[in-house]
Amino acid sequence: AQSVAQPEDQVNVAEGNPLTVKCTYSVSGNPYLFWYVQYPNRGLQFLLKYITGDNLVKGSYGFEAEFNKSQTSFHLKKPSALVSDSALYFCAVRPDSGGYNKLIFGAGTRLAVHP
Amino acid sequence: DTGVSQNPRHKITKRGQNVTFRCDPISEHNRLYWYRQTLGQGPEFLTYFQNEAQLEKSRLLSDRFSAERPKGSFSTLEIQRTEQGDSAMYLCASSKGTSGRYSTDTQYFGPGTRLTVL
């Protein structure tokens, strides 16, 4: 079965420290990978995506993500966290077979950045 | 640039009633998606339109659910005979997709409609 796992329900980090939000996936073929962020009472906002090419993808608000095919991971990173980064983060994958226009989401990771 | 809009933002209904939600995609986006998100979970795919054609439906979309996109612009999602298990956030997304299997378009989401079934 195709799935996305975000192993941490919550990540706590101090402002100014680097942050990592983990994501692993289980799909066949060469999937496309996405990160979205959700603020309270708002929809999902697109951060970045990996399609092909360089394994390090840069996105909005200083976020980046590293694709690792051998470990089937796509971890989200930021060198220096801000309190305003506190939100719910979702990793998603679009399989390249069987329903290739839908996104499969992980359960989300709540990021809390403390002053 | 106007984003995806959804109406209403909140809907409270009694079990057994019918409800309809509307989604207006980003202008010129030919693809439209509906997802459902329950508390503590990520969004789950419900259905997908390319222009006015409904091309994919999830098994989650029971017979009580119907979605339309009559002119390839806005879309409606109707739930008949609502049940308490239908309580969720219903998210709409749109994208500008090219033809072919390996389209790399990004889906942009609206703010959602929160449905509460009493």
Place of tokens 């840069």: A58
Q: In this predicted model, what pLDDT tens digit does every residue of A42-70 receive, in sequence order?
A: 789 999 999 988 999 999 999 999 999 99
CA distance B50 to B55: 7
Distance from the Cα of A22 to chain B's closest Cα (Å) equals 15
Q: Which CATH number covers residue A99?
A: 2.60.40.10
What is the pairing mode between strands A109-114 and A87-94?
Answer: antiparallel
Q: Do B108 and A49 touch (CB under 8 A)?
A: no
Q: Which of A106, A74, A107, A103 is nearest to A4 (CA)?
A: A106
Taking the C-alpha atoms of residue B34 and residue B48, their distance in angstroms, rounded to an integer, is 7
pLDDT category of residue B101 using cuts at 50, 70 and 90: low
Amino acid letter, A88: L
Would the CB atoms of B110 and A107 count as touching at under 8 Å?
A: no
Would you call B109 and A45 a contact, using CB atoms and an 8 Å cutoff?
yes
- pLDDT category at B118 given cuts 50, 70, 90 is very high
For chain B, give the percent of residues with pLDDT over 70: 96
A/B interface, count of CB pairs below 8 Å: 62
Name the token pair of B112: 């959602």
Read off the tokens for B27: 């202008």
| pLDDT, tens digit (0-9, with 9 covering 90-100), for B5-19 | 999 999 999 999 999
Q: Which residues of B touch A107 (CB under 8 A)?
A: 40-42
Q: Which residues contact A85 (CB under 8 A, 6 or more apart)?
A: A19, A61, A78, A111, A113
Provide the domain count of chain A: 1
Domain extent, residue A84, equals 3-114
